[in-house]
Structure 1
Amino acid sequence: MIINNPYLDIIIRSISVYFFMIIALRIFGKKELSQLNTADVILILLISNSVQNAMVGSNTSLFGGILAAFALFIINLIFKRTMLHSKFIMEMLQDKPEILIHNGKIEFKTLAKLGISSEELQEAMREHGVEHYKEIKLAMFEIDGSISIISGNKNLKQTHHKRKIHKTLGDLNN
C-alpha cells in the first residue's frame, strides 16, 4: 500500500510496529521485562534500532521522528484506555497472576511454565526477607512480571494491596 502523504505513512508505520511489539511481548512473555539483564538490554536496544526505519522509512527529519513518537504515545494511550474498558481485550493481551507457592508448597509446574528458575525464586524470597519456602503463605507472579510474597511470619512487615482473588487460590483464611 503506497500512501502519498509521508506523515500519514509515518503514523501508520508507527502504529503497525506498536501492535507488532504488543503481540511479540504477549507471545514471549513479560518475565523478561521484570528484571533486565545485559542480554535483555542489548535486545531492547537492537529491537528499537531495527524498528526505527520501519516506522519512519526514509524520513530522517526531526519532525518525522517527533511524529513517530507522538503517534506511539497516542496509540498507547488509546490502547490502555481500551484495555481498561474491554474485559475481552484485557484478558486476551494481559497475563493473569500465577501462584508460585501456596501455604509452603511450591508449584513446580507453574515455575516451569513461566520459565522461573529456582535462583530467581530464591532471590525474590531474600528480597522479601524470607529464608525458606515453607515460611511462605503465598508467592505470586504478578502481571507486571514481579514476584510478590506474603509470609506466615507475623513479625515481617508486609504491604497489603487489594487485589482480585485468583480463581485457583480460594480462601486463604483456612
Structure 2
Amino acid sequence: MLDTLIFDSWKGLIRPFLMCLLAYPFLIFILRIFGKRTLTQINLFDFIITVTYGATLSSILTNNKVSFAEGAVILLMLTVLQFIVSQSSVHSKTFADFMKASPSFLYRDGQFFEKSMQHHRIRMEDLKAVVRKQGMSSFEQVEAIVLEGDGTLSVIQKEAGSSNDVLSGVE
C-alpha cells in the first residue's frame, strides 16, 4: 500500500495530464469569449460561480467518471448563465438590485448604526481596525464607514467644507 501511495503507474498519470491539457485551455477560452465581467467578484453570485469553476475543473481533472465533454458542458453552461445574469443586471435595474447587495452605513456623522452592525455581524472592533488601517486615529476624522455590496468596508475621511457625493445611494 505505501509503495502505491506516491506513485502507482505511468498509466494513472496519463488521464490527469491529458485532462489538464484539454480542460484548462478550454476554461480560459470560454472566459475570454464571454469577457472580463465573468470573473469579477462583485456580488455573491459572482463568487459562487468562481468557486464552482474551480470545483468543476477539479472534478474534470481528478474524477475518472467525469469525461472532458461532460465537464466542458458544465463549464460552458456556468459561463452562459453568468453571462445572462450579468447582461440582465446591466439592462434591468430591478434585476441588478435583486442580484447585488446594496451598501449600508455602519457609521456616519458621529453616529453608529447599531442595528445595521448587528444585522451584518460587524463588531465595533472591526470598525476600529478599518479606521486604523486608513491611518486615522479616531472616529472624529471619519465622515462615514460603509459596508459595500461586496462585503468590504470603506472609510470616507472628513474633508473640510466639502460635500461627499460618493455617499449617495447608501442605505
**TM norm. shorter chain > 0.5:** yes
Give distance in 2, aligned partners of 1:138 and 1:79. 31
The gaps in structure 2 that reach 5 residues or longer are 1-43
Q: After the TM superposition, which parts of structure 1 deviate over 4 Å for at least 4 consecutive aligned residues?
A: 161-164
TM-score by length of 1: 0.55
SS in 2 for 1:150: strand
- The answer as to whether partners of 2:102 and 2:170 remain within 8 angstroms in 1 is no
Correspondences of 1:38-57 after superposition (within 5 Å): 48=55
- The answer as to whether partners of 1:104 and 1:135 remain within 8 angstroms in 2 is no
Aligned to 1:82, which of 66, 77, 88?
88
Superposition RMSD in Å: 3.4
Give distance in 2, aligned partners of 1:166 and 1:83. 17
The gaps in structure 1 that reach 5 residues or longer are 1-24, 34-43, 53-57, 155-160, 169-174
Structure with greater Cα Rg: 2
The residue type paired with residue 65 of structure 1 is G
Aligned to 1:131, which of 116, 127, 137?
137
Correspondences of 1:1-174 after superposition (within 5 Å): 25=44, 48=55, 60-152=66-158, 163=166, 165-166=168-169
- The answer as to whether partners of 2:131 and 2:155 remain within 8 angstroms in 1 is yes
Percent identity, aligned pairs only, is 19
Query: Over residues 32-69 of structure 1, what are the superposed CA-to-partner deviations in whole Å (9 max), with x where a residue is unaligned?
Result: x7xxxxxxxxxx69xx58xx7xxxxx951012112211
SS in 2 for 1:95: coil
**How many residues are paired up?**
117
